Amino acid sequence: MDQEQNDKTVKGTILIPCRTATRGTFPLNGTYFQVNEVFADHKTTRCPIAVPRESIWELPKRSLYCGTGATSIFKGMSTKEIQYCFWRGFFCIRGVDRVTRDARPLSVKFHPHNSKTKHADDE
């Protein structure tokens, strides 16, 4: 077993449901995105919090699909595969500042890409 598996804590980013982050003013009201989209808290993306493994170990596991948009997440998937993603997972395409409620670009920590361009937020 490696060191990470032996640790009693894991690093985590707070994920905020879109309706909470937007205070109920979600532009795609009534869509799957309203239910399935989460925003990554900008502060805990940059400085992850320590989460005790024992406090989350028994929680149901769900998939998190991250990217710059739905097109980048679902590229190459069949309709059936996309439906499965909506039934079983959550989507994250942006970050949010919890204090100002301003949208932030999603950190490349969540969607590595081949670009050699560095983002100021990811340094």
Kindly report the pTM of this predicted structure.
0.76
- Mean pLDDT score of the chain: 81
Mean pLDDT across 12-27? 79
Provide the 10 A C-beta neighbour count for residue 93. Answer: 22
Q: Is the dihedral of CA 42, 10, 53, 92 positive or negative?
A: positive
Domain boundaries, the chain: 3-109
> Tokens representing 17?
């449901």
pLDDT at 2: 56
**Model confidence at 27, in pLDDT bands (50, 70, 90)?**
low
